[in-house]
Amino acid sequence: MESGDLSQAEKELIRQSWATVNQDPQHHGTVLFTRLFDLEPDLVKLFPYNSTQFSSARECLASPDFLQHVRKVMLVIDAAVSSLENLSSLQEYLIGLGKKHQAIGVKTESFNTVGESLLYALEKGLGPAFSTPAREAWTKLYSVVVKMMSRGWQEGKEGE
Ligand code: HEM
């Protein structure tokens, strides 16, 4: 799907909701990852900073290194929201990012769980303002991001 599939009204819903959530990316990003680890607890093992694995999601979520990753994810989403008129400008970057995550050991299905967790965090952050059309718009946007990352993931897999 290309960015042209998002209507102007959908782009506006995305911008509005992100303006609220992005006031506190650390908090909403932590809500996202808390949900992600509830849904897929094994993902905690893929964050071995300084070669030591966290023994629990709670320990991982409290680590400054991990919080940097939360920040990185929120920055990628912010870049997507800022590039709604031209999402293909992010293509090369997202392909590279997908390749990197393949090397780290992330499965493509986990990208979808991140998407679910993002919707969860938006819902928690926005409450009733997170309308059904807003949810649909975000689902479309995130699927463009995942599609590009998955392409890179596949390239990484084939290059093994
Ligand atoms: C599916 C679960 C994910 C896991 C287990 C995971 C894990 C990791 C790990 C271990 C690193 C390297 C250490 C670090 O930079 O903190 C990393 C880097 C990174 N991740 Fe993730 N990640 C996941 C999802 C995502 C998603 C969905 C995004 C963005 C939409 C993302 C964005 C980034 C960025 C921007 C970097 C830095 C890449 C660089 O250094 O060039 N990650 N990730």
Tell me the CATH number at 55: 1.10.490.10
Instruction: Look at residue 35 and tell me if it is in a domain.
Output: yes
75 CA closest ligand 1 atom index: 35
Is the pLDDT score of 4 beyond 90? no
Instruction: Look at residue 2 and tell me if it is in a domain.
Output: no
Tens of pLDDT, residue by residue over 31-90, are 999 999 999 999 999 999 988 899 999 999 999 999 999 999 999 999 999 999 999 999
Q: What is the ipTM of this complex?
A: 0.98
Q: Please state the domain count of the chain.
A: 1
The C-alpha atoms of residue 45 and residue 53 are separated, in whole angstroms, by: 6
Residue span of the structural domain in which 90 resides: 8-158
Instruction: Look at residue 1 and tell me if it is in a domain.
Output: no
For ligand 1, mutation pick of 72, 142, 145 (most atoms within 8 Å of CB): 72
- Residue 83 burial by Cβ neighbours in a 10 Å radius (0-12, 13-18, 19+): middle
Residue 6 structure tokens: 């998002």
Q: How much is the pTM?
A: 0.96
CB atoms within 10 A of CB 92: 11
Phi/psi for 8 (5° steps) reads -60, -40
Instruction: Look at residue 71 and tell me if it is in a domain.
Output: yes
The finding on whether 46 has its CB within 6 A of some atom of ligand 1 is yes
